[in-house]
């Protein structure tokens, strides 16, 4: 009963992207009775398509279109063509995400005020507060079934968590548990409890993990107010003479160009594609790209301070069994400049299978030091370290001057340099992560460098003042009233927390705003 | 391909000075009598395939992996080289260079340099070259995506068809 809209129907809201931001927003708009078309660049892979196979599923769902990298970050050297590890499919990166669902803390919305002037950082306070977002955080957590909220029980701890917990206790950390996870600990919302399969990153075969693919979009489609068009790569957003956006040009599954008219357009293609699209949509009226009078589109790219620690023990751990990220220590997620850096970081259990461990443990390495680690795979425990990185104007998504994609459009270049604060935080996190494992008898620890970015943020940031950012507190562009940004690119700063819950929260809040603006005929 | 051969590893290693010694070339084929397999080459010289197998072991040395694991990981180059002159050139030229360096330093071809540390020193000299870069980049996938390797490293692979680990030991760790 999913609706099909005419290309010339100019009453529809067009949402570009179907992940945490776009999939949630599109569904919520439809539930409100608003005619909505979601254009998704990737295909529609339902649960049956997912494979418990790291490389197999990677090849199937990842965003592998050409991208270039620059800057001093190690990813540019190790994975020069793959700056980001995200999904190109209906559901976006909610297909492969781990499920960690943490609220931002109050001080993180006031980064500039809290941290002060940090050399080289383009910090700003968000134009909204935790208090304003709390009702929507509540709604998002309930909708996603986040454990340890709304009376939902925590997940049981797996072997990897047991090691983390024992180490955390020995070290004196006070806040270690199996996380706030959008993974069912008991059946809920028509989806079963987690079966501890262990392939969270390859798409949950049981559907126990929340994803817009099966937990949101079908509900939107059932209203008859939502059409999702997969294999639809948006090339450009068009506008009328007054500067209002009015259509979206995309390449369909056969590569033919189509033009969908629109009453409003919401961009949710993740923090690389979203600014790329705005920049590629430059016109005579907007020569620097849409919504870019500030010059901030594509700037302030953030990817979180990340790293991992894997540790070897004299007995088996088998960390790969069970929920990948159901384990967290939050004690370091505070702002304590006495540690030598501002902002905080989370320590979260993480396991990779043998194929990805080989690729990511120490990219480029060979010889006995490397194989000694791989030989101890069964006895390894692992954690991911994820914290707030400093926004820097020079960290940016730009259009490549010569490389073009299959549609003749400039490919994005992703430039990133670590800020000194990021490096100090990573070193502290490596030290603390190793200490957790050493406390329970690790014989080796491996400080593992960042993977290609999974948390891409900030390239269309929210700001109070139009000259400092791209969108206002509703994700509405400062320049064009009926153009919205609905993904993590609207983040003013990154916080320490995994971003999905906040992206969903902002999308739910934005849906209310769009509905109100439409009913007032403001857009 | 089988998993771990059922034999005494320390004895086997003692008898085998280098893994390459277990490989003999007969006509156009590589024969490993101990592991009971053979490999005929189509485009590459059999000596080159033998060298690739040794390089693969030296780049990712796992002493409990049979030669077969490494042979499987590099076998695809011979198939690809049939229609890919550029690849064939990278391999044959890279091996010539490596053997030249080995003869200069050790008066022997690469596979006959007895100690791994000496072979490593040779690999270090070609580390930035196209053959090494290609081999390392491909092997890190081809070796570690081999299900026989998974079994030896204690990785169980897919679990959905078995109902996950909810009833199969996701929290069976008792030693803490």
What was the pLDDT predicted at B13? Answer: 41
Which CA distances in Å does A288 have to A59, A100, A277, A278, B134? 35, 37, 12, 9, 41
pLDDT digits 0-9 by tens, B83-122: 999 999 999 999 999 999 999 999 999 999 999 999 999 9
Provide the angle, in degrees to the nearest 10, between the axes of the packed helices A130-144 and A500-519.
Answer: 110
pLDDT digits 0-9 by tens, B28-60: 888 998 888 888 999 999 999 999 999 999 999
Distance from CA of B63 to the nearest CA of A (A): 10
Work out the pLDDT band at B22, boundaries 50, 70, 90: confident
What was the pLDDT predicted at B2? Answer: 36
| Mean pLDDT computed over every residue of chain A | 98
Task: Establish if A53 touches chain B: CB-CB under 8 angstroms.
Answer: yes
Task: Establish if A107 touches chain B: CB-CB under 8 angstroms.
Answer: no
Q: Do B140 and A353 touch (CB under 8 A)?
A: no
Q: Residue A323 has which token pair?
A: 């929920």
Alpha-carbon Rg for chain A in angstroms: 22
Kindly list the residues from chain A whose CB atom is less than 8 angstroms away from the CB atom of residue B120. 367
HSE toward the beta carbon, residue A93, CA cutoff 13 A: 26
Residue of chain B minimizing CA distance to A167: B176
- Residue in A225, A288, A245, A168 with CA at minimum distance from that of residue A36: A225
Residue with tokens 């800057």: A71
Task: Establish if A360 touches chain B: CB-CB under 8 angstroms.
Answer: no
- Contacts A–B by Cβ distance under 8 A: 118
Task: Establish if B143 touches chain A: CB-CB under 8 angstroms.
Answer: yes
Strands of the sheet with A176-177, listed across from one edge: A176-177, A328-329, A345-349, A380-387, A305-312, A444-448
Kindly list the residues from chain A whose CB atom is less than 8 angstroms away from the CB atom of residue B58. 367
Task: Establish if A310 touches chain B: CB-CB under 8 angstroms.
Answer: no
Strands of the sheet with A257-261, listed across from one edge: A233-239, A245-251, A257-261
Helices (H) and strands (E) in chain B, counts: 7, 3
Distance from CA of B57 to the nearest CA of A (A): 9
The count of residues in chain B is: 176
Judged against a pLDDT cut of 50, whether residue B5 lies above it is answered with no
Nearest CB to B170 within list A158, A354, A364: A158
* DSSP annotation string for A251-308: E-TTS-EEEEE-SEEEE-SHHHHHHHHHHHT--SSSTT-TT-TTS-TT-S-B--EEEE
Task: Establish if B36 touches chain A: CB-CB under 8 angstroms.
Answer: no
φ, ψ for residue A308, nearest 5 deg: -140, 155
The count of residues in chain A is: 523
Kindly list the residues from chain B whose CB atom is less than 8 angstroms away from the CB atom of residue A358. 140-141, 143-144
Domain boundaries, chain B: 42-162
Distance from CA of B150 to the nearest CA of A (A): 7
Distance from CA of B69 to the nearest CA of A (A): 14
Q: Do A378 and B155 touch (CB under 8 A)?
A: yes
pTM score of the predicted model: 0.95
What was the pLDDT predicted at A284? Answer: 97
Task: Establish if A32 touches chain B: CB-CB under 8 angstroms.
Answer: no
Mutation target vs B (from A77, A321, A323, A437; most B CBs, 10 A cutoff):
A321
- Residue in A176, A181, A183, A185 with CA at minimum distance from that of residue A156: A185
Distance CA A185, CA A16 (A): 32
**CB A216, CB A511: distance < 8 Å:** no
pLDDT digits 0-9 by tens, B131-169: 999 999 999 999 999 999 999 999 999 999 999 999 999
Distance CA B59, CA B74 (A): 12
What was the pLDDT predicted at B20? Answer: 53
Q: Do B141 and A316 touch (CB under 8 A)?
A: no
Which residues are CB-contacts of B109 (< 8 A; sequence separation ≥ 6)?
Answer: B51, B99, B102, B103
Collapsing DSSP to helix, strand or coil, A382 comes out as: strand
Mutation target vs B (from A169, A196, A356; most B CBs, 10 A cutoff):
A196
Q: Which residues of chain A have pLDDT under 70?
A: 1
Distance CA A106, CA A333 (A): 12
Residue of chain B minimizing CA distance to A354: B144
Distance CA A72, CA A198 (A): 34
- Residue in A302, A286, A200 with CA at minimum distance from that of residue A243: A286
Q: Do A196 and B154 touch (CB under 8 A)?
A: no
Collapsing DSSP to helix, strand or coil, A363 comes out as: coil
Task: Establish if B27 touches chain A: CB-CB under 8 angstroms.
Answer: no
Work out the pLDDT band at B14, boundaries 50, 70, 90: very low
Nearest CB to B144 within list A52, A157, A358: A358
Q: Residue A512 has which token pair?
A: 């209310």
């Amino acid at each position: 009963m999913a609706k099909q809209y005419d290309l010339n129907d100019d009453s529809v809201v067009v949402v570009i992207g179907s992940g945490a931001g776009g999939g949630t927003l599109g569904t919520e708009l439809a539930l409100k009775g608003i005619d909505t078309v979601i254009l998704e660049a990737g295909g529609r892979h339902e649960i049956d398509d997912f494979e418990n196979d790291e490389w197999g599923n990677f090849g199937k769902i990842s965003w592998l279109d050409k991208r270039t990298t620059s800057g001093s970050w190690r990813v540019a050297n190790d994975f020069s063509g793959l700056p980001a590890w995200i999904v190109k499919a209906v559901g976006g990166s909610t297909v492969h995400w781990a499920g960690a669902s943490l609220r931002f803390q109050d001080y993180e919305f006031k980064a500039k005020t809290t941290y002060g002037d940090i050399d080289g950082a383009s910090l700003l306070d968000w134009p909204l507060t935790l208090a304003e977002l709390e009702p929507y955080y509540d709604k998002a957590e309930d909708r996603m079934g986040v454990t340890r909220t709304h009376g939902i029980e925590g997940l049981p701890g797996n072997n990897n968590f047991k090691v983390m917990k024992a180490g955390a206790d020995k070290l004196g950390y006070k806040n270690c548990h199996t996380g706030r996870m959008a993974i069912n600990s008991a059946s809920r919302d028509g989806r079963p409890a987690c079966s501890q399969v262990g392939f969270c990153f390859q798409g949950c075969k049981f559907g126990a993990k929340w994803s817009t693919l099966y937990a949101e979009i079908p509900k939107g489609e059932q209203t008859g107010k939502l059409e999702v068009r997969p294999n639809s790569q948006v090339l450009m957003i068009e506008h009328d003479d007054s500067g209002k956006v009015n259509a979206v040009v995309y390449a369909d599954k056969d590569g033919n160009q189509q033009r969908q008219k629109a009453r409003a357009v919401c961009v949710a293609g993740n923090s690389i594609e979203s600014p790329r699209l705005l920049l590629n949509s430059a016109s005579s009226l907007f020569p620097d790209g849409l919504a870019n009078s500030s010059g901030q589109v594509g700037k302030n790219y953030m990817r979180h301070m990340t790293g991992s620690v894997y540790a070897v023990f004299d007995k088996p751990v088998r960390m790969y069994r069970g929920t990948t990220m159901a384990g967290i220590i939050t004690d370091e997620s505070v702002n304590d400049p006495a540690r030598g850096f501002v902002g905080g970081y989370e320590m979260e259990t993480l396991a990779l299978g043998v194929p990805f461990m080989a690729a990511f443990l120490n990219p480029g390495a060979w010889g006995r030091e490397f194989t000694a680690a791989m030989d101890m795979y069964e006895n390894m425990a692992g954690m991911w370290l994820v914290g707030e990185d400093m926004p820097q104007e020079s960290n940016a998504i730009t259009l490549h001057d010569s490389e073009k994609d299959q549609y003749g459009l400039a490919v994005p270049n992703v430039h990133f340099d670590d800020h000194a604060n990021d490096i100090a935080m990573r070193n502290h996190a490596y030290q603390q992560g190793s200490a957790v494992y050493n406390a329970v008898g690790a014989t080796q620890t491996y400080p593992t460098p960042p993977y290609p970015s999974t948390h891409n943020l900030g390239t269309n940031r929210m700001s109070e003042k139009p000259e400092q950012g791209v969108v206002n507190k509703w994700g509405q562009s400062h320049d064009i009233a009926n153009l919205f940004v609905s993904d993590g690119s609207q983040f003013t700063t990154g916080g320490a927390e995994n971003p999905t819950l906040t992206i969903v929260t902002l999308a739910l809040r934005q849906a209310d705003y769009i509905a109100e603006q439409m009913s007032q005929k403001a857009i | 391909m089988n998993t771990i051969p059922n034999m005494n590893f320390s004895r086997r290693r003692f008898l085998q000075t280098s893994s390459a010694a277990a490989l003999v070339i007969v006509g156009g084929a590589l024969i490993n009598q101990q592991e009971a397999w053979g490999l005929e080459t189509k485009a590459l010289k059999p000596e080159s395939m033998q060298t690739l197998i040794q390089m693969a072991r030296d780049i990712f040395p796992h002493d409990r992996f049979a030669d077969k694991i490494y042979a499987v990981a590099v076998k695809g180059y011979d198939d690809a080289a049939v229609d890919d002159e550029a690849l064939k050139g990278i391999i044959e030229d890279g091996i010539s260079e490596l053997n030249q360096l080995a003869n200069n330093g050790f008066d022997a071809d690469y596979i006959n340099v007895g100690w791994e540390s000496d072979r490593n020193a040779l690999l270090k000299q070609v580390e930035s070259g196209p053959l090494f870069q290609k081999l390392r980049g491909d092997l890190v996938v081809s070796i570690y995506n081999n299900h026989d390797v998974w079994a030896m490293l204690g990785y169980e692979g897919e679990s959905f068809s078995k109902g996950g680990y909810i009833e199969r030991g996701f929290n069976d760790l008792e030693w803490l």
